[in-house]
């Protein structure tokens, strides 16, 4: 890596490092995400138990299938993944050079 790029990484003339220059910060952010995901998933797993014990529901489903524990968890994850893979497949059909229409 050239010295210039190194300087740029460190934030240019001031030489002050930037927040996400440190990979640990990204790791911490991802760790927080894991915790949040675990918590919101756990709520759904707790739900049937709570309902049986006390009749209290954390989330009352509009439809039966929507009440399946983790429905939104799986739907969100799978939909996102499906979108990315479909889009990558779409690229094979529609992607052209940047100046396609300018030629």
Partner 1 sequence: MTGSLPPAAAMILGALLVPLLRGRARSAWVLLLPVASLVLLVSAGEGEFGRVSIFSYELTLLRVDGLSRIFGLLFHIAAFIGLVFARRGGSALEDASALVYAGAAVGAVGAGDLITLFVFWELLALSSVFLVWARRSERSYRAGIRYLIVQIGSGVILLAGIIAHARATGSVAFDHLGTETLGTRLILLGIGIKAAFPLLHNWLTDAYPEATYSGAVFLSAFTTKVAVYALARGFAGTDLLIWVGVVMTMFPIFYAVIENDLRRVLGYSMINQIGFMVCGVGIGTEMAVNGAVAHAFNDVLFKGLLFMSMGAVLYRTGTTKCSELGGLYKSMPKTAGLCIVGAASISAFPLFSGFVSKSMVMAAALEQNLDVAWLFLLFASAGVLHHAGIKIPFYGFFGPDSGIRTKEAPTSMLIAMGMAAFLCVFNGTFPTWFLYPNLPYEVTYVPFTRAHVISQLQLLFFAVLAFVWLRLSDREPHELPSTNLDADWFYRRFGAGLALTAGGVARRLRNAVAARTVVAAGGAIGSARRYMGPKGVLGRTWPTGTSVIWVAILLLVFLLLYYANTPFTSALPPP
Binding site residues, partner 1, CB under 8 A:
5, 8-9, 11-12, 18-20, 30, 33-34, 36-37, 40-41, 43-44, 58-63, 66, 70-81, 83-84, 86-88, 90-91, 93-102
Distance in angstroms (rounded) separating the CA atoms of residues 40 and 28? 19
Least separation in angstroms between residue 65's CB and partner 1 is: 9
65 half-sphere exposure, CB direction, 13 A CA radius: 2
Q: Which residue has the tokens 């439809």?
A: 63
Least separation in angstroms between residue 41's CB and partner 1 is: 7
Nearer to partner 1, 49 or 76 (CB): 76
Least separation in angstroms between residue 24's CB and partner 1 is: 15
Distance in angstroms (rounded) separating the CA atoms of residues 91 and 93? 5
- Going by the DSSP 8-state scheme, the letter that residue 11 receives in this structure is T
């Amino acid at each position: 890596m050239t010295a210039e790029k190194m300087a740029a990484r460190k934030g240019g003339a001031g030489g002050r490092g930037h927040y996400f220059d440190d990979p640990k910060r990204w790791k911490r952010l991802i760790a927080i995400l894991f915790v949040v995901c675990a918590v919101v998933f756990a709520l759904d797993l707790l739900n049937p138990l709570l309902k049986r014990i006390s009749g209290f529901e954390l989330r009352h489903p509009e439809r039966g299938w929507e009440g399946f524990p983790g429905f939104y968890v799986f739907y969100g994850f799978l939909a996102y993944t499906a979108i990315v893979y479909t889009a990558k497949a779409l690229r094979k059909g529609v992607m052209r050079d940047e100046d396609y229409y300018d030629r």
